[in-house]
Amino acid sequence: MTRHAGIVFLVGAGPGDPGLITVRGLELLRCADAVVHDRLVPGELLVRAARDAEVIDVGKSAGDHRRQQKDINELLVRLARQGKVVVRLKGGDPFVFGRGFEELEHCRRAGVACVVIPGVTSALAGPASAGIPVTMRQVARSVAMVTASTAGEGDAPALDYAALARLDTVVVLMGHRHLAAICASLLEAGMSEDMPAACIERATTPAQRVARGTLAGIAREVARQGLGAPLITIFGEVAVAGGGSGLAHSGLAGKRVVVTRPASRQAGVAKLLRRAGAEPIACPVTRIEYEGDTAGLLEAVQRLAAYDWLAFTSAHGVRGFSRVLRKHGLDSRALSNCRVAAIGRATSRALHRVGIAADVVGKGGAGALAEAILAASATPPSRVLFPCGDHRRDELIDGLKRAGSVVEAIAVYRAHPVAVTDEAKSALKLGFDAVLFYSPSAVTNFAAVFDAGDTVAACIGESTAHAARRAGFDRVMTSAETTDEAMLNVLVRHFDETEVPA
């Protein structure tokens, strides 16, 4: 059989928390030419794919089968025959109720190399995230994992409830729609109506919720609390272990927060949101290209000694400027005759990484940075170079010009709009509580696709906040500092003050 140059990796994405993908799985995702993913794969993982990777959603849910399994099998083979490295990203583990073996066999029969990268299955990680062990000394020495879904398997045999009723622990996946029937069948098979039971919604994610009860009453408790799919159910004495939902106790617990930063800058803020108990939704609406005013930059670099101050209002400005320096064979020594100002700690850290120390670090927006520069100068500076983006912050320019300074704003990067992915659209359809905006252009691009509604907009700087109000956001929060931490603190304070504790 002819062996084709491409290859397919069946990668387990883990149970929901993007941090639970394996190191090997993440490495492959970052270098794949094509990513074919399921519905429940978190968007935070998808933004880790290479920028030029083809990302294809083949997710299926009850009543919504975007592609038949045979179509997915053929898609994998077709992509591999094009010589591509294909990552088939599947929730949990590819071989646990995931039809991964069917995909493996189809690839092999077609002469396409296929490798399985195991993942963390929700059948074990879900209970663990709620503090429930599926086995326990002297309590539970046997465990069964079953699925209640038989979609596309009309001839699938019924579950052997008599055998299940004799085991110590039973873990049921995909059982939300059939929960009452499952409980009735276990009761009929001899399991005690007082057997402890627990149901976990959206396990391992910040939106995780847990309902507890007994075999006789757990279905009613799930309905009362309004838990939905995906749902993991545990029957057995172990279900009394653990407690609570696993959520953090901040105002962001359980909130769905949209992050509009470019894909390359999503990871840091997503990590902070998860620590606070929120669920980040990756929705990049801009792409940064360091392709500024070439002629103007060249002229400015050649006469750096003529400037009193160099002002930066973003890490992107720092990166764009440092690239220009390197391109012309210069380094931080070229700045010996001028002082350097940065807005906030993030911009200051970006300067430090390229070997430049900020003389002044302004706290607040671009207007506050202008005030800081003037306060640090014996007389208003004559000339200030402002490396910025194509959507610059005029508060800095206006503040310095009023004092008599000449400000040269030169674009060192451009923010291009990018189309919102189908994955992000699907996630946003489920609702969201807040959006993080880092620039006016991000507000404009987001508002072109989604209505503001009653959503909270957390913005860096007054220019961004003004754009959010103009776009129809009624609840606009402004961060005085240009850091992710400051943005999250603004949200935490808002939700702590506006929501009554349960």
Question: Distances from the Cα of 360 to the Cαs of 74, 312, 461, 475, in angstroms?
Answer: 59, 10, 18, 32
The token duo for 173 is: 């996946």
Could you read off the pLDDT of 175-186 as tens digits, one per residue?
Answer: 999 999 999 999
Of residues 236 and 297, which shows the higher confidence score? 236
Q: For residue 226, what is the DSSP state?
A: T
Residue 382 has pLDDT above 80, yes or no: yes
Residue 150 has pLDDT above 60, yes or no: no
| Residue 311: alpha-carbon gap to chain centroid | 31
Residue 126 has pLDDT above 60, yes or no: yes
Mean pLDDT of 376-393: 84
Residue 454 has pLDDT above 70, yes or no: yes
Report the range of poorest mean pLDDT among 27-31, 184-188, 332-336: 332-336
Active site residues: 38, 60, 174
Alpha carbon distance, N-terminus to C-terminus of the chain: 64
Q: For residue 202, what is the DSSP state?
A: S
Residue 296 has pLDDT above 80, yes or no: no
3-state secondary structure 125-144: HHHHHCCCCCCECCCECCEE
Mean pLDDT of 430-437: 89
Q: Which residues pair with 68 in a beta bridge?
A: none
Residue 376 has pLDDT above 50, yes or no: yes
Is 465 buried (19+), middle (13-18) or exposed (0-12) by CB count in 10 A? buried
Q: Please tell me the predicted confidence (pLDDT) of residue 500.
A: 41
Q: CA 272 to CA 121: how far, in whole Å?
A: 25
Mean pLDDT of 412-432: 84
Q: CA 253 to CA 276: how far, in whole Å?
A: 6
Mean pLDDT of the chain, nearest integer: 86
Collapse the DSSP code of 200 into the 3-class scheme (helix H, G, I; strand E, B; otherwise coil) and give the result. strand
Compute how many other C-beta atoms are within 10 angstroms of the C-beta atom of residue 345.
Answer: 16
Q: How confident is the model at residue 62 (pLDDT cuts 50, 70, 90)?
A: low
| CA count, 13 A, side-chain hemisphere, 92 | 20
Q: Please tell me the predicted confidence (pLDDT) of residue 157.
A: 65
Using CA of residue 205, residue 208, residue 213, residue 218, what is the dihedral sign? negative
Q: CA 189 to CA 417: how far, in whole Å?
A: 59
Q: Domains in the chain, please, with CATH? A: 7-120 (3.40.1010.10), 124-240 (3.30.950.10), 256-285+418-498 (3.40.50.10090), 289-416 (3.40.50.10090)
One-letter identity of residue 395: E
Could you read off the pLDDT of 92-107 as tens digits, one per residue?
Answer: 999 999 899 999 999 9
Asked whether the beta carbons of 126 and 203 are under 8 A apart, the reply is yes
Mean pLDDT of 365-376: 85
Q: Please tell me the predicted confidence (pLDDT) of residue 332.
A: 79
The token duo for 422 is: 């189908």
Q: Please tell me the predicted confidence (pLDDT) of residue 247.
A: 46
Mean pLDDT of 484-494: 84
Element (H, E) at 70: helix 69-81
Question: Distances from the Cα of 402 to the Cαs of 238, 250, 361, 367, 388, in angstroms?
Answer: 70, 43, 21, 12, 20
Report the range of poorest mean pLDDT among 255-259, 415-419, 459-463: 459-463
Q: How confident is the model at residue 305 (pLDDT cuts 50, 70, 90)?
A: confident
Percent of the chain with pLDDT over 90: 42
CA dihedral of residues 262, 263, 266, 267 (deg, nearest 10): -150
Q: CA 67 to CA 98: how far, in whole Å?
A: 15
Cis peptide bond N-terminal to 230, omega within 30: yes
Residue 74 has pLDDT above 70, yes or no: yes
Q: Which of 236, 208, 181 is nearest to 126 (CA)?
A: 208
Residue 155 has pLDDT above 60, yes or no: no
